[in-house]
């Protein structure tokens, strides 16, 4: 048995992208969940120091023939959903776009949306010109890295139009946004977040195929190993904790008891606020979790209700 197989033996496998848009956030998430790991220079496999876990850190490129496929590490990022789907890897972090492109929606469960990597997969055409509608793309050439999704979409469009024109979907590995200018394609299907890349290439979106964000996925394949089952539960729960800590803050304030009912409308908490008496008669201290995105509204409401000493505390981690 080679060294790699030996060190992976019995470990649960968790796949994350090696680089690109999702990488930094994934590392942050793992650190928040206290999944410590050591990454070897030679291999994109990291063995966890504190869990019976190995991280597969995937990137673009193809497997080198010297490693058996099961352990190959340089794989397309889209292999994360496929490997999780097939059960070779128990958990993974990837984009919903990648799951749809790999067509493994039935083989994986999206355990948790992660709130980053938010983007839209859009059909883009030159801002000026005749191609301003889906109809007008019939029989044209579409450049994309999402040839499965685009292929499916345009063959449905072709069938719906029924004019006999076949739209051609051309796979492009990168620089998709340059395809129209270079004359390689009439339109493209690519990801858009701010729209800066699209606008810089003189393109605009005429249709959205899907919206996407990064998600934690779990294989639907049955796990027989009890220790692995426990570890999967633990990892999911820890990642949920890190996510919840980002979503909420703890809001503390003092208020006269007579104004309490009004104030807690703005800080109802997840279950209920904690209300404790103060030494000062007639006053109470309130502590409540508040969604970060509603914080400003809640604080305005508290101030107007007569709350004093409003303190907002960020959470490092939590289990809710
Ligand atoms: N502009 C963007 N904004 C937000 N999320 C994005 C954006 N582009 C891509 N993503 C998300 O991140 C995932 C990975 O995209 P990225 O472009 O980093 O992949 P990659 O092509 O594997 O990496 P690289 O470009 O470094 O080779 C996408 O599948 C998508 O879910
Ligand atoms: O709408 P925007 O905010 O401009 O983002 C869109 C760009 O982001 C993605 O590419 P990325 O920058 O990740 O690099 P890549 O093309 O090498 O994958 C996508 O392919 C677009 O090119």
Cβ atoms 192, 122 nearer than 8 A:
yes
66 φ/ψ angles, rounded to the nearest 5 degrees = -70, -20
**Domain check: are 10 and 111 in the same one?**
yes
CATH number at residue 155: 3.40.190.10
For the CA of 195, the closest atom of ligand 2 is 1
**Domain check: are 75 and 218 in the same one?**
yes
Asked whether 190 lines ligand 2 (CB < 6 A), one says yes
**Domain check: are 189 and 126 in the same one?**
yes
Residue whose CA is at the smallest distance from ligand 1 atom 3: 193
What is the largest distance, in Å, between two alpha-carbon atoms of the chain? 82
Q: Which of 191, 195, 196, 201 to mutate to test the pocket of ligand 1 (most atoms within 8 A of CB)?
A: 191
In a domain, 227, yes or no: no
Cβ atoms 302, 268 nearer than 8 A:
no
Asked whether 196 lines ligand 2 (CB < 6 A), one says yes
**Domain check: are 92 and 53 in the same one?**
yes
**Domain check: are 129 and 111 in the same one?**
no
Tens digit of each residue's pLDDT (9 = 90 or more) over 250-288: 999 999 999 999 999 999 999 999 999 999 889 999 999
Q: Which of 191, 200, 208, 211 to mutate to test the pocket of ligand 2 (most atoms within 8 A of CB)?
A: 191
What pLDDT is recorded for position 220? 97
**Domain check: are 218 and 72 in the same one?**
yes
Q: Which of 212, 236, 269 is the last residue of a domain?
A: 212
* Residue for token pair 């709130």: 115
User: What's the CA-to-centroid distance between 81 and ligand 2, angstroms?
Assistant: 20
User: What's the CA-to-centroid distance between 259 and ligand 1, angstroms?
Assistant: 49
Tokens of 7: 């060190």
In a domain, 57, yes or no: yes
Ligand with minimal distance to 122 CA: 2
In a domain, 234, yes or no: no
Distance CA(248)–CA(208), nearest Å, equals 31
Q: How many domains does the chain have?
A: 3
User: What's the CA-to-centroid distance between 99 and ligand 2, angstroms?
Assistant: 18
What pLDDT is recorded for position 61? 39
Asked whether 127 lines ligand 2 (CB < 6 A), one says no
Ligand with minimal distance to 117 CA: 1
Distance CA(220)–CA(82), nearest Å, equals 12
Tens-digit pLDDT profile for the chain (320 aa)? 676 777 788 899 999 988 888 989 999 999 999 998 887 666 678 888 899 898 877 654 333 333 333 333 345 567 899 999 999 899 999 999 999 999 999 999 999 999 999 999 999 999 999 999 999 999 999 999 999 999 999 999 999 999 999 999 999 998 999 999 999 999 999 999 999 999 999 999 999 999 999 999 999 999 989 999 999 999 999 999 999 999 999 999 999 999 999 999 999 999 999 999 999 889 999 999 999 999 999 999 999 999 999 999 999 889 88
**Domain check: are 125 and 113 in the same one?**
no
Ligand with minimal distance to 61 CA: 1
Q: Residue 66: how many CB atoms within 10 A of its CB?
A: 6
**Domain check: are 30 and 110 in the same one?**
yes
What pLDDT is recorded for position 71? 37
In a domain, 240, yes or no: no
What pLDDT is recorded for position 242? 94
What pLDDT is recorded for position 10? 86
User: What's the CA-to-centroid distance between 111 and ligand 2, angstroms?
Assistant: 26
ipTM of the complex: 0.95
For the CA of 22, the closest atom of ligand 1 is 12
User: What's the CA-to-centroid distance between 159 and ligand 1, angstroms?
Assistant: 31
In a domain, 241, yes or no: no
Global confidence as pTM: 0.86
Q: Which of 156, 190, 212 is the last residue of a domain?
A: 212
What pLDDT is recorded for position 62? 38
Range of the domain at 269: 248-314
**Domain check: are 101 and 147 in the same one?**
no
CATH number at residue 286: 3.30.70.120
In 3D, which of 239, 198, 179 has the Cα closest to residue 53? 239
Ligand with minimal distance to 188 CA: 2
Asked whether 280 lines ligand 2 (CB < 6 A), one says no
Asked whether 174 lines ligand 2 (CB < 6 A), one says yes
Sign of the C-alpha dihedral, residues 190, 193, 199, 200? negative
**Domain check: are 270 and 195 in the same one?**
no
Pocket of ligand 1 (CB under 6 A): 19-22, 60, 77, 95, 97-98, 117-119, 191, 193, 212
What pLDDT is recorded for position 64? 39
In 3D, which of 72, 29, 24 has the Cα closest to residue 216? 29
In a domain, 72, yes or no: yes
In a domain, 233, yes or no: no
Asked whether 21 lines ligand 2 (CB < 6 A), one says yes
In a domain, 53, yes or no: yes
**Domain check: are 193 and 274 in the same one?**
no
**Domain check: are 105 and 146 in the same one?**
no
């Amino acid at each position: 048995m080679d060294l790699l197989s030996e060190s992976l033996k019995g470990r649960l496998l968790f796949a994350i992208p090696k680089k690109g848009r999702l990488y930094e956030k994934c590392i942050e998430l793992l650190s928040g969940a206290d999944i410590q790991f050591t990454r070897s220079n030679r291999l994109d496999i990291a063995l966890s120091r504190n869990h019976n876990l190995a991280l597969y850190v995937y990137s673009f490129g193809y497997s080198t023939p010297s490693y058996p496929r099961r352990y190959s590490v340089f794989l397309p990022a889209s292999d994360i959903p496929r490997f999780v789907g097939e059960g070779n890897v128990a958990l993974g972090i990837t984009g919903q776009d990648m799951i749809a492109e790999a067509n493994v929606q039935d083989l994986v469960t999206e355990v948790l949306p992660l709130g980053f990597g938010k983007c839209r997969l859009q059909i883009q055409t030159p801002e000026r010109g005749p191609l301003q509608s889906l109809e007008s793309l019939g029989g044209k050439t579409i450049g994309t890295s999402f040839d499965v999704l685009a292929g499916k979409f345009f063959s449905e469009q072709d069938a719906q139009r029924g004019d006999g024109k076949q739209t051609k979907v051309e796979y492009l590995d990168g620089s998709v946004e340059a395809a129209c200018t270079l004359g390689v394609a009439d339109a493209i299907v690519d990801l858009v977040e701010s729209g800066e890349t699209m606008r810089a290439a003189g393109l605009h979106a005429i249709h959205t195929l899907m919206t996407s964000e990064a998600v934690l996925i779990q294989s639907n394949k049955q796990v027989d190993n009890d220790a692995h089952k426990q570890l999967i539960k633990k990892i999911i729960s820890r990642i949920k904790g890190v996510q919840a800590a980002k979503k909420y803050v703890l809001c503390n304030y003092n208020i006269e008891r007579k104004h309490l009912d009004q104030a807690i409308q703005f800080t109802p908490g997840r279950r209920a606020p904690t209300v404790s008496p103060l030494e000062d008669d007639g006053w109470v201290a309130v502590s409540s979790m508040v969604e970060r995105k509603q914080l400003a509204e809640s604080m305005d409401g508290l101030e107007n209700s007569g709350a004093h000493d409003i303190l907002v505390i960020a959470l490092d981690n939590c289990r809710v």
